[in-house]
Amino acid sequence: MLLMVQAFKGNVICPNKHQADLEKFYNNRLLESETYIGGHVECLETGVFRSDLPTKFQLEPSAYEQLIGNLDRDLQYAISVEGKLDIGSVTNYDEVKDAIKQKLVSLRDHPIREERPLIYHLDVAAMYPNIILTNRLQPPSIVTDVDCTTCDFNRPGKNCLRKLEWVWRGETYMEKKNFRDKRYEYKGLNKTWKGKLAEAKSSGNSMKIQEAQDMVVLYDSLQLAHKSILNSFYGYVMRKGARWYSMEMAGVVTYTGAKIIQNARILVEKIGRPLELDTEGIWCVLPGSCPENFTFKTKVGKKLTISYPCVMLNVDVARNNTNDQYQTLKDPVNKLYTTHGECSIEFEVDGPYKATPRSHVWRSRCSEALFQLRSMWSSPI
C-alpha cells in the first residue's frame, strides 16, 4: 500500500501483481523452487568475551603497516567526505595523525600480545536501503539487451549500465530515498531530545524531564518503525504476488551486502579477532591499545570527532561500492543528466561494550552442541 501511494503521488502506473510461471526448467529439469543466495551469517568464535578480562591477540604486522601507509588517505576521507569539512581548516591534523600512528606502530612492532579488549559491533547503517539507493536499484532497472535497444539513451559512449553480481539458486525435482531521509530526521531528533533530557535532569525541572522523556520515546519509535519498513523493501520485491517483483534485485542487494561484510572481516581478522558475522555487521574484539576516537578542531571552532575503526572500514567500502554512474536529471525539457559518484553505504561503530551480548553466548553454545552432535554422528558405531 505504501508503494502504491508513492506511485500515485509520482504519477507512476502501478503494474499488475506478479504471477509466477507454472513451470520452469533448468538444464532440462523441472524446478521445484528458485531463489537467490542471501546474507552471510556465521559464528566464528565461541565463548564469553569481557572488556575486563585479558584476551590473547596474534596480529599481522603487514596489516598495520598498510594502515600506517593509508593513514593520510583515511583521515582526509573522514574530514572531507564524512565530516564535509575543508582539510585546510583543520588546526590539529598532524597532532591527531601522530597520535594514531604511534598506536599503530606499537601494534605493528608487538603483534603477539595479551591485553584487555575493545568489544565492538561494526555495523553498516541501514545497509540494504543504502545499497538500493546507492545503485538506484528498482525492478524496472533490471534490464536486458532487448530493453536497451528500445531506449532513447542507447547511444555510443553511454554510461548508464551498471553491472552488479548476484547468485541464483534453484532446486529441481530429483535433485527508496525520501523515506530513508525521514528516518534519519527522526534519529537526529531523538538524539537532540536526549540532550535536552540530560539538561532537564541537571536543572531538576520535572515538567521538562517528562516532556523530554516523552519526545525521546516518540522519535525513537518513529525511527525504528521507518527502519523496519526500509529493511523490508528488498524482501518485498521477492514476494510472490508483489506488484514490483524482481528476484534479480533482491539477489543483488543481499549479495552486495554479504560481500561488504566478508571484505571487512578480512581486515578485522588481521588486526583483531572477529567473533560473529551477522547480516549487517561484525562482532569483534580489538586490542585495547588500538586507536579509537579522535577529535579534529577547525579554525572556526567547529569540532569533528571520528572513530578510527569506522573510518578505516568506510574508506574501503567507498572504494569498492561507489556508484560512479549516478545520474541526476538537471534539464527535464532536453533530458540532460549530470553524472557523479554516490555512496551512502557506511559503517558505524557500536561500542565498546563491557561484554559480548547474550545472543552471542547462546549461539556459541548452539554451535558447540551442534559440533558435538556431528562428532557423535560421524563416529563409528
Query: Do the Cβ atoms of 284 and 274 come closer than 8 Å?
Result: yes
Dihedrals phi, psi of 42, to nearest 5 degrees: -155, 135
| Predicted pLDDT at 372 | 46
Please name which of 105, 27, 93, 15 lies closest in space to residue 65, comparing C-alpha atoms: 105
Q: What is the per-residue pLDDT for 172? A: 67
- pLDDT recorded at residue 360: 52
Q: Of the segments 28-37, 160-169, 233-242, 334-343, which one has the largest average pLDDT value?
A: 334-343
Residue 71: inside a domain: no
Asked whether residue 230 is domain-assigned, the answer is: yes
The whole-chain average pLDDT of the chain stands at: 84
Is 6 within the bounds of a domain? Answer: yes
Say if residue 189's pLDDT is above 70.
Answer: yes
Q: Is 140 exposed, middle or buried (0-12, 13-18, 19+ CB in 10 A)?
A: exposed
Q: Please write the tens of the pLDDT for every residue from 161-182.
A: 888 888 887 776 554 556 566 6
On whether residue 101 sits in a domain, the answer given is: no
List the domain range (segments joined by +) for residue 189.
1-34+176-245
pLDDT value, residue 220: 82
Decide: helix, strand or coil at residue 285.
strand
Model confidence at 298: pLDDT above 60 = yes
Does 51 score more than 70 pLDDT? yes
Greater model confidence, 28 or 342: 342
Sheet architecture: strand order including 42-43: 42-43, 273-277, 281-287, 117-124, 347-353
Answer whether residue 107 is part of any domain: no
pLDDT beyond 80 at 367:
no
pLDDT of residue 358: 55
Residue 100 pLDDT exceeds 90: yes
| Cα separations in angstroms, 150 against 144, 154, 155, 158 | 11, 8, 11, 14
CA dihedral over 284, 352, 304, 271, signed as positive or negative: negative
Q: Let me know if residue 22 belongs to a domain.
A: yes
pLDDT of residue 61: 96
Residue 328 maps to a domain: no
Tally of domains within the chain: 1
pTM over 0.85: no
Look at residue 306 and tell me if it is in a domain. no
Q: Which 3 state secondary structure label does DSSP give 286?
A: strand
Out of 138-142, 179-183, 232-236, 354-358, which region has the weakest mean confidence (pLDDT)? 179-183
